[in-house]
Amino acid sequence: MSRPLRKVLVANRGEIAVRVIRTCRELGIATVAVHSAADRESAAVRLADERVQIGPAPAKRSYLSIPAIIEAARATGADAIHPGYGFLSEDPDFAEVCEAEGFVFVGAPAAVMARLGDKSTARALMADAGLPLLPGSRDPIDDADAARALAEEIGYPVIIKAVAGGGGRGMRVVRDGDDFGAAWQHTRATAAAVFGDGRLYLERYLESARHVEVQILADTHGTVIHLGLRDCSLQRRHQKLVEESPAPGLSSELAERIGAAAVRGCEAAGYVGAGTVEFLLAPDGQFYFMEVNCRLQVEHPVTEMVTGVDLVAEQLRVAAGEPLRLGTDIRPDGVAIECRINAEDPEREFAPAPGTLADCVLPAGPFVRVDTHIAAGYAVPPHYDSLLAKVIVWAPDRTAAIARMRRALAETTITGTGVATTTDFLHDILDHPRFRAATHDTALIGTHTAPATAAAR
């Protein structure tokens, strides 16, 4: 039975909070922005119908404070909570508390999130659904000697992963048995400190692979569909920098097999809402399940640009209990590329570079979209993720999309005392011969240096 949403509290900040608020406004849904003391003058706070300060700047005392968020929802009369991405978006305890307190959680059910958030359980579930896995451990391994023996059996290099890991954290590549013991202990300690869960598993590491993912939508009536593939192979230390849709260089038959596998896995999990199934694609065309992200992805705009589907609107409709109105025959039109502009300095190993923006000129023009929360005078806080803006372009083909993105990045100026961004580096990497030929993989940025400078263009 459907339950129309009247007021949505957005439990996040930055560009994703702005993104959700805008769609809510278009749908006639009132919004509440919760914010830390550092974000009291933010764009999301200005755009929302109501605003509640929930704590000081540190995220643990604001955006990660479940009691403060629930109290804000109760005080403002919100009937739903949208978690965005990051922070509490994949925390099953938060989803469970929302449900228990009578709020609609705009995301996967708590039980589903718990199953898929545990990487070991998710691997077992997907294996049972027939999705291919890289050789490795199906269950967590407690003993370092047993893990070393398995590594010797499947062959180096291997990657050690935290069962509770995510966002590129809690993993370590080991290329030699002599390094295994120290790497195992380091990863366990990191996992316990960061995620509160030191359990680990092991799988073979593909040196040359592409990272492809499938956008899923599922309703409460048992319908699961996919909206095509994205390529997210341009990464640095497992953090995505450039994404595109559709994934280039794949035959329609291979893309359809990957999409069908993602749907099959989500059906087996009882998935509801918007989610992403991630795969590694080997040079021989074999693909392997990685994980399911039970939330909206940072890179969701590229899917929106090639399908014309507002994924946030679909999330809200599903959360309200409505059946999906989309068919299973959605096909991408053209090519979309997204670049993440971060407040990081590529000349200093991408060190965070916060500060106050003196100048902020963002690109525009035909088929250019910018998702951001910044403007001149904005003080980039040191407390949160370094993402400043996402520049997304669309074109009829990939060559034109790359040209349009390079033009858009060349128009971008973000400066300020102490501030550095990845803009020039992104402009440079888009001109790399392997990216242009769509033969790039997840190792490309690790071997690429010498970011371009504006003066060199």
Whether 452 has a pLDDT exceeding 50, the answer reads no
Q: Give me the DSSP letters along 108-143.
A: S-HHHHHHHHSHHHHHHHHHHTT----SB-SS-B--
DSSP β-bridge partners for residue 36: 55
User: pLDDT (tens digit, 9 = 90+) per residue, 3-32?
Assistant: 899 999 999 999 999 999 999 999 999 999
Whether 155 has a pLDDT exceeding 60, the answer reads yes
- For the record, the structure tokens of 14 come out as 């930055």
User: pLDDT (tens digit, 9 = 90+) per residue, 377-436?
Assistant: 999 999 999 999 999 999 999 999 999 999 999 999 999 999 999 999 999 999 999 999
Q: What is the pLDDT of residue 456?
A: 36
- Between 65-79, 118-132, 438-452, the lowest mean confidence (pLDDT) is in 438-452
Whether 451 has a pLDDT exceeding 70, the answer reads no
User: pLDDT (tens digit, 9 = 90+) per residue, 254-292?
Assistant: 999 999 999 999 999 999 999 999 999 999 999 999 999
In this structure, the number of other CB atoms found within 10 A of the CB of residue 25 comes to 14
What positions carry a catalytic annotation? 295
- For the record, the structure tokens of 44 come out as 């999301």
Q: What is the pLDDT of residue 167?
A: 65
C-alpha span between 155 and 399 (Å, rounded) = 39
DSSP state, residue 422: S
Segment holding 340, helix H or strand E: strand 335-342
- Between 42-46, 56-60, 167-171, 451-455, the lowest mean confidence (pLDDT) is in 451-455
Segment holding 104, helix H or strand E: strand 104-105
Question: Residue 309 CA to chain centroid, in angstroms?
Answer: 18
